[in-house]
Structure 1
Amino acid sequence: MNRIGLFCAASERIDPVYMEKAEELGAWIGAQGKWLVYGGSNLGLMEATARAVKAHGGQVMGVVPTLLEERGRVSTLLDVTFPTVNLSDRKDVMLQESDVLVALPGGIGTLDEIFHVLAAGSIGYHDKQIILYNVNGFWDGLLDFLRTLEDRHFIHHPLDGRLKVAATFDELVSFLTD
């Protein structure tokens, strides 16, 4: 798994622990000589992760929708830029270019990306894993809801084959190195 796709918050107004975890992941990706594949923004956890990847010798691929570029929100750290028309194209390119996907804490956009990967995998478009990094139980409510969907048979295939949950950094690294 050399190309790690990342979904996460672009917000600057979040608890600093999430920035620390993003930087820790970025440092590991860089030190391992791996690629970060992400949305290309210069904000929040996105930029924090990219900065740490670059500082530790890794490469950064940004998948950048036109509107982000027009608003001047593209990171200057990108080694490769994939321009896209919109967010739908961005998700498709990120999925295509990544070997595995990780979701750090994030908002509506991150949820959209997680569900895009899960839905596409559930009908056979890919067999890639998505790992939720459950920092301070951030994803607990979502996980409870997904279990409810499984229990009530709204999900046809068990999610545990495609969805992993890492409660600690060591657990996340273990999933990324399997």
Structure 2
Amino acid sequence: MALRSIVVFCASSLGSKQVFSEEATHVGRTFAVRGITLVYGGGKVGLMGAVANGALEAGGKVVGIIPHFLNSKEREHNGVTELITVESMHDRKRIMNERSDGIIALPGGFGTMEELFEMITWAQLGLHQKPVGLLNTDGFYDHLLAFIDNMVESELLKKGNREMLLVADTIEELLEKMENYKAPDVPKWIQEEEI
């Protein structure tokens, strides 16, 4: 699968470990070197700013999408290639989905989780066939992955749906998994215009 653009969900703060910002910057640089457009939340702070700056410093293309009411909190990044201001969080995710060939979550909080799980749910429902990846920087997502495995063991999540979430410890490994991803054939439960 050709990955021309990837949306990255991540925190608007830097977190407690320097490795989070270092890896976010590395993700941005890796995208630029590989000719992958970064699509992200449009902020210049936190891990969002780090991934965008990494891509920009390496000559990459960066598309930021930010709701107008978050401009004061996430402070829009005026140095990106293209900045799109939208009305709502739903508009933000819809456009991110439209502008990307794949989805990656870096470390983050509730917002990152909400974005990741909405996109993986859309994949589960057959609304898109894009690869959805989790970059498990420094084991950040170990507990979440154990919880998801518990969903499977409890028979509340199908094993095939669990396998739709691609996980790796490095961006290089994750991109390889995403490039080789083949979406399962799932029936559409709802129509795309209903999302």
TM-score (norm 1): 0.92
Q: Give the unaligned 5+ runs of structure 2.
A: 181-195
* Equivalent residue, structure 2, for 1:49: 51
Go from structure 1 to structure 2 and tell me whether the alpha carbon gap of 1:72 and 1:48 turns closer, same or farther (over 3 Å shift): closer
CA distance in 1, matches of 2:136, 2:106: 7
Quote the offset at 1:167 in angstroms: 1.6
Quote the offset at 1:93 in angstroms: 1.4
Quote the offset at 1:151 in angstroms: 1.8
SS of the counterpart of 2:147? helix
Superposed CA offset, 1:21-42 (max 9, x none): 0111111111122200000011
Q: Which amino acid aligns with 1:107?
A: G
Superposed CA offset, 1:57-95 (max 9, x none): 110101111112355710012212222212122112112
Question: Which residue of 17, 23, 38 corresponds with 1:15?
Answer: 17
CA distance in 1, matches of 2:169, 2:35: 24
CA distance in 1, matches of 2:141, 2:163: 18
Aligned: 1:67 with 2:69: yes
* Equivalent residue, structure 2, for 1:142: 144
CA distance in 2, matches of 1:17, 1:5: 21
**Quick one: percent identity of the two aligned structures?**
33
Pairing 1:66-85 to 2, within 5 Å after superposition: 66-69=68-71, 73-85=75-87
Quote the offset at 1:171 in angstroms: 1.3
* Equivalent residue, structure 1, for 2:104: 102
Query: Contact conserved, 1:127 with 1:162, CA < 8 A, in 2?
Result: no
Query: Contact conserved, 1:150 with 1:158, CA < 8 A, in 2?
Result: no
Quote the offset at 1:173 in angstroms: 3.5
Pairing 1:107-146 to 2, within 5 Å after superposition: 107-146=109-148
* Equivalent residue, structure 1, for 2:154: 152
Q: Which amino acid aligns with 1:64?
A: I
CA distance in 1, matches of 2:34, 2:131: 19
SS of the counterpart of 2:65? strand
CA distance in 2, matches of 1:161, 1:125: 17
Quote the offset at 1:161 in angstroms: 4.1
* Equivalent residue, structure 2, for 1:33: 35
Query: Contact conserved, 2:7 with 2:104, CA < 8 A, in 1?
Result: yes
SS of the counterpart of 1:158? helix
Quote the offset at 1:109 in angstroms: 0.4
Q: Give the unaligned 5+ runs of structure 1.
A: none
Question: Which residue of 166, 171, 176 corresponds with 1:174?
Answer: 176
CA distance in 2, matches of 1:104, 1:158: 23
CA distance in 1, matches of 2:99, 2:171: 23
Number of equivalences: 178
Superposed CA offset, 1:119-155 (max 9, x none): 1111111111111000111111111111111222222
* Equivalent residue, structure 2, for 1:165: 167
CA distance in 2, matches of 1:135, 1:127: 25
